[in-house]
A = this chain, B = another copy of it.
Amino acid sequence: MQKESGTTSDGGADAFAADLLRGHTDTIVLGVLRREDRYGFEIYKAIRDATGGDYEIKEATLYAAYRRLVKDGLVEAYWGDESQGGRRKYYRITDAGRAVYRRNVDAWVVTRRTIDSLLDLKGS
């Protein structure tokens, strides 16, 4: 994508979308998987619905996150036997994944407080 002479302050009206979630994707996925196993597209839809259209974490972003999480041993993948040709790859959170999830939630709380204080959003 290009800037299109983006000096106009309006050019970036919707440009701040999902970059603000950057770095939190893995934690969000772990959060979804915390309760039960889900398959990839299901997680995508769950997040898409939960964000209510405000943000949308793109499929490619999520599948990259799955790959990362599997590589790091935080989730395990297995193919569901839909047997009608459906090929759903399910993900299960591991103990290591739960530990990282808890740690990342703590980190998120700190992050939230940090940004709030930097933006002076205590009670105003």
Stretch at the interface among A58-66, A79-87, A112-120: A112-120
Contact A115 B72 (CB under 8 A): no
| Copies of this chain per assembly | 2
Interface of A (DSSP majority class): helix
Residue among A7, A9, A51, A117 having the largest count of chain B Cβ atoms under 10 Å: A9
B24 pairs with A20, CB closer than 8 A: yes
A96 and B20 in contact, given A105-B121, A108-B119 (Cβ under 8 angstroms): no
Count A interface residues, CB 8 Å: 48
* Interchain CB contact (< 8 A) of A117 among B50, B96, B111: B50
Query: What residues of B have a CB within 8 angstroms of the CB of A110 in the complex?
Result: 54-55
